[in-house]
């Protein structure tokens, strides 16, 4: 073995000991609260990836699409014949052009009732609240009510929250928080969103 091989082997052994230690320490088992936020691309994609993962094991999953719900969505197309998946879509399909406070609030409250039901159902293993951060930011949803529903959910249920500018209290209570950081986005160079890639 060369010196370099020996050094590599030693550092891998150290890393393994460190990881083994961490694995031994991770003993608690319960559902998680996860937040995918930040300005970079990948929040909703990561949520649907986790949905696919859960469905792959036969778990029940609920997805609430708070905005862009009426838009095309390839993952939903692919997965919506799975009997274990329930998708609820905000009726107006809130977009940047509508922005009618009254009708958006009403539509948001309606779909929130579905979310609340899912957040009380111990049969549902994973609940995704896609783009819910905007609903809290604009005051369409009461933050305290959302937090209470998250806190009181079944112990085994995992919840994923997506959207930019995640609320500070929600971030504070989450088990896993990932901030997607934009290094570059094609859109800014004038490239159109692509079907099957961006939606
Ligand atoms: P995705 O749905 O691709 O995972 P996302 O959930 O992180 O993206 P959103 O803010 O919800 O991002 O925006 C959704 C749409 O906007 C997608 O078509 C996505 O490709 C596009 N998008 C995401 N990030 C950016 C960005 N930084 N600049 C421009 N467009 C973006
Ligand atoms: Mg998104």
What percent of the chain lies above the pLDDT cut of 70? 95
- Mean pLDDT on 51-66: 97
Kindly state the average pLDDT of the residues 8-15.
Answer: 93
Q: What is the pLDDT of residue 194?
A: 95
Q: Give the phi and the psi of residue 109 in degrees, each rounded to 5.
A: -60, -40
What Å distances lie between residue 81 and 24, 91, 127, 153, 179, CA to CA?
39, 21, 17, 26, 31
Find the mean pLDDT for residues 17-36: 92
Helix intervals (H) in the chain? 3-25, 43-56, 74-79, 101-118, 132-137, 143-151, 168-173
Q: What is the pLDDT of residues 142-155, one digit of tens each?
A: 999 999 999 999 99
Looking at residue 22, what is its pLDDT? 87
User: What is the pLDDT, as a whole number, of residue 11?
Assistant: 92
Which structural domains are found in the chain, ordered by start? 28-189 (3.40.50.300)
Write out the DSSP string of 86-139: EEEE-TT---TTT--HHHHHHHHHHHHHHHHHHTT-TTEEEEEEETHHHHHHTT
Q: In terms of pLDDT, which residue wins out, 159 or 16?
A: 159
For residue 96, indicate whether it is catalytic: yes
pLDDT in tens, 104-125: 899 999 999 999 999 999 999 9
Torsion from C-alpha of 31, 64, 97, 141, nearest 10 degrees: -60
| 36 tagged catalytic | no
Q: Which atom of ligand 1 is nearest to the CA of 187?
A: 29
Residue 50's DSSP bridge partners are none
Query: Residues of the chain with pLDDT > 90: what percent?
Result: 83
44 pocket-lining for ligand 1 (C-beta < 6 Å) = yes
* 193 sits in which H/E element: none
Q: State the closest ligand 1 atom to the C-alpha of 48, by its place in the atom list counted from 1.
A: 4
């Amino acid at each position: 073995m060369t010196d370099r091989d020996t050094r590599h082997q030693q550092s891998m052994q150290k890393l393994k000991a460190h990881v083994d230690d961490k694995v031994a320490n991770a003993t608690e088992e319960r559902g998680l609260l996860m937040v995918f936020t930040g300005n970079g691309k990948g929040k909703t994609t990561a949520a649907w990836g986790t949905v696919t993962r859960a469905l792959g094991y036969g778990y029940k999953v609920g997805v609430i699409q708070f905005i862009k719900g009426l838009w095309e969505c390839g993952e939903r197309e692919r997965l919506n014949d799975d009997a274990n998946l329930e998708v609820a879509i905000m009726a107006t399909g809130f977009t940047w052009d509508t922005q009618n406070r009254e009708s958006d609030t009403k539509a948001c409250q309606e779909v929130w009732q579905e979310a609340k039901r899912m957040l009380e159902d111990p049969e549902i293993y994973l609940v995704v609240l896609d783009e819910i951060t905007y609903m809290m930011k604009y005051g369409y949803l009461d933050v305290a009510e959302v937090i209470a529903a998250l806190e009181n959910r079944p112990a085994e249920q995992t919840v994923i929250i997506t959207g930019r500018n995640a609320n500070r209290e929600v971030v504070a209570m989450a088990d896993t928080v990932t901030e997607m950081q934009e290094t570059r986005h094609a859109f800014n160079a004038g490239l159109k969103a692509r079907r099957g890639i961006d939606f």
